Chain A
Amino acid sequence: MGLESNLKEGSLVTARLEDLVNWARRNSTWPLLFGLACCAMEMIAAGTARHDIARYGSELFRATPRQADLIIVSGRVSNKMAPVIRRLHDQMLEPKWVIAMGICASAGGPFNNYAIVQGVDKIIPVDVYVPGCPPRPEALLYGMELLRQKQSGEHFSKYVFTPEQPGAPAEAEQAMAGLVPRIG
């Protein structure tokens, strides 16, 4: 059935390291246990038995940003919450991805007023926008499928920080000094 049944004892598989690492990353993308508003309910529904996000290796919602690969911004972002989300995103380790779930996180949605930030992409970079108010769990799963496609094509060079880059971590500078690509 799987790869192992087709391989003889002691066989070797050759592959590009990038492909292997990307394969592992896209099949175990752990989201941050983080919900904002209505969309968070559909995110939870995606995690329960019927929609079963575990099929894609993303069932392990981590409560600390340091163990999470993906932040699903599920709901409207208020001005008071925006600095908090920014800090959560900053605390996540590379490589990290962002899904803006629903129209509020994507562009403010029906809440074009004083309280709500008009799209979370004003404060953090977004990889996939999932439309809907709220999107159905299936829509979120499709958004994660798009994210997996994006993850498959990533190159290590994306995570090499140049010393000139403002805010580049110190270890990235050291990695550059030794000309060793940093694979996160």
Chain B
Amino acid sequence: MPLLNVSPVDRLYETLPNLDDINIPARAPQPDGATEDTQTIAAAFGDRILAAGLQRDLPFVHVAPADLRDLVTWLRDGELAYTTLIDITSVDLSELPDPDPDVRFQTIYLLRSLARHKALFIVCPLPGGEDAEAPSLARQFPGAIWPEREVMDLMGIRFADHPDPRRILMPTAWPNHPLRKDVPLGGEDVPFSLTWDHPEFDALGDQILDPESLPPDLPPGMNRQNMILNMGPHHPSTHGVLRLVVELDGERVVNVDPDLGYLHSGFEKTGEHRRYKDFVYYTDRMDYLSAMNNNLGYVLAVEGMLDLEIPARAQAIRVIMSEMQRIASHLFWLSTHVLDISGNGMSLLMYATRERERILDLFEMVCGARLTTSYIRIGGVWKDLPEAFLGALSEFCDLFPGRIDEYRDLVKDSPIWRTRLEGIGMVSREDALAMGLTGPMLRGSGVDWDLRRDQPYSGYEQYEFDVPTSNRGDGFGRYEIRMEEMRQSIRIIRQALDRLPDGPYRSDDRKVNPPPRTELDVSMESLIHHFKLFTEGFKVPPGMYYHGIEASKGELGFFIYSDGSGKPYRLHVRGPSFNNLYAISGMSRGLMLSDIITNIGSIDIVLGEVDR
């Protein structure tokens, strides 16, 4: 008996795995099955491997901390050639069922073999309860130093033989390790009636540390015989609130020590207290210059856990948005970089933001927001593209390549631009791999690696595009790469526009996406789905999952440990800027003070993502 003009709904919605027979919370299951690589590892290491196999489609190897260094060195130097350490994270297991009082923490390492297009996760359960210690991988991979400091700071795990065991994000006097499960989320429960006269008001400011509790320590390895200079956190050229302690011999840089955390916002801890669909809105505010990329990275991780099918139209829209965002982000990089180092910077800032505003206008057309878009949602996108959008976008695609030529003509042969970029900020191919650099930083050192082409996601395999690389290894090479990436993005957008498929713009899985409003009037089942979705959210099967995408600055990855409930048990973000920024010390040593500014711009950092 159809009511209104809506056809009755007769499809079965139970497409998600049934979680009713799992006791929630649950631990991540042990890996099962095998791949060639896990078999090779198991054959080589025998009993020293605690478990090996697949979890969903990702290969995991469990190993005791005593064997971790041997395994990693063997993987790096052996035939498997896992040459890059992408990420280190950790999980506090204490609130999962059957807690083992001795093994409270585990660390998780992600290695990549760029030559063989393979990824491998190593899980390392740490004995010692609250006072756990893991071996440091700093000797094997210099890129491990900062992620290990982050784990040390936020989770309170010690790393044996770590060269620089200091806090990295939180203030030095901070009393706890915020990501531990027994530390509350914090924040304030402020009633709206609270006024200045209220006695509770005095207590509100208690969490603010006074400046005296933050002594400016001399970083290790620096010598007071030389000049020690403080740059930031308020400095016009550090692209945000980055603080650098610089040791200078005359005007020559002897050492640079970045001090992070001035924009630490507790994204990961907040994520553990939000439902899966609600965290999309937080991702906008991480790398605030590429919100669409952040949305995409996060939703792909959650969709991977749900095994959700995404309609072809939604995938194409996502690609278009992601590439537009890449252009907008690179335009902002170009304008601020030129502003920092070249005489004609102000005019290029005005020109480049002119085109960026056009992209933001297009974003506004599809979702109403300029910066914090939240357009890409779990299961698809928020709304279909409006009619006027396609025409406006193809107009932009026609106009933009000519504008890139204009920018190139403005700077490329300028003697200031050339002398300040050529040979400045050198990163060798070996260093780039060892430090775990990604994105234009990696390609600028001659490594041909782009996740869009080498591990395609969201239908990137359908598009033809080139991945620009440069063997220069200096700031000029990275400039050329980013300029070419903008052209390639236009090429991808054109292809996506030409064969934009029709069909739904989001999955019609009612467990994940709310039913359309019209359906609520006729279908009790839809009403229940709607109610459940907006009161408790959807549940995600227990397990570990990671998904990385090629964002404008490099590999942006989301690691999720699900305990089967409606919120992530642990959410970790691998921000490209964080790992790339580690390179600044090596790039700047021996150069002039002003070259540090060039290098900051050349790395292209966004502090919201570095500090998270």
Interface residues of A (CB under 8 A from B): 33-38, 40-42, 44-45, 48-50, 63, 75-76, 78-84, 86-88, 107-108, 110-118, 122-123, 133-134, 136
Contact = CB atoms under 8 A, between A and B. Distances in A.
Contacts of B270: 110-111, 113
A123 B207 CA distance: 12
A114 B607 CA distance: 18
Given A45-B370, A78-B262, A81-B263, 4 more contacts: A42-B371, A48-B350, A84-B262, A115-B269
Interface stretch (B232-240, B304-312, B451-459, B595-603): B232-240
Interface in B242-296: 261-266, 269-270, 281-282, 284-285, 288-289
B208 A115 contact: no
Nearest to A84: B233
A38 B372 contact: yes
Given A49-B353, A63-B236, A114-B266, A79 B371 contact: no
A48 B336 CA distance: 12
A168 B282 CA distance: 43
B171 interface: yes
A81 B259 CA distance: 12
A136 B364 CA distance: 11
A42 B208 contact: no
Kindly list the 9 A-B residue pairs having the minimum CB-CB distance in the complex, ordered from nearest.
A114-B186, A112-B187, A38-B288, A83-B211, A115-B266, A113-B266, A48-B353, A63-B236, A81-B262
Nearest to A49: B350
Interface residues of B, number: 51
B263 A114 contact: no
A177 B447 CA distance: 72
29 contacts: A33-B236, A36-B241, A38-B371, A42-B371, A45-B360, A50-B357, A76-B263, A76-B265, A79-B207, A79-B209, A80-B214, A84-B241, A84-B262, A86-B211, A110-B281, A111-B187, A111-B265, A111-B266, A113-B185, A113-B187, A113-B265, A113-B270, A114-B186, A114-B269, A115-B266, A115-B269, A118-B204, A122-B204, A122-B208
B190 interface: yes
A86 B212 CA distance: 13
Nearest to B243: A84
A161 B263 CA distance: 35
B157 interface: no
B261 A38 contact: no
B211 A114 contact: no
Contacts of A108: 187-188
Interface string B169-186: 011000000100001111
B222 interface: no
A150 to B, nearest CB: 19
B119 to A, nearest CB: 30
Contacts of B372: 38, 133-134
A79 B241 CA distance: 13
Given A78-B263, A80-B262, A88 B349 contact: no
A117 B246 CA distance: 29
Nearest to B358: A50
Interface string B525-569: 000000000000000000000000000000000000000000000
Contacts of A116: 187, 265-266
Contacts of A115: 178, 186, 264-266, 269
Contacts of B266: 111, 113-116
A111 B284 CA distance: 13
Given A79-B208, A114-B178, A45 B188 contact: no
Contacts of A33: 236
B440 interface: no
B285 A114 contact: no
Interface string B342-354: 0000000110011
Contacts of A107: 190
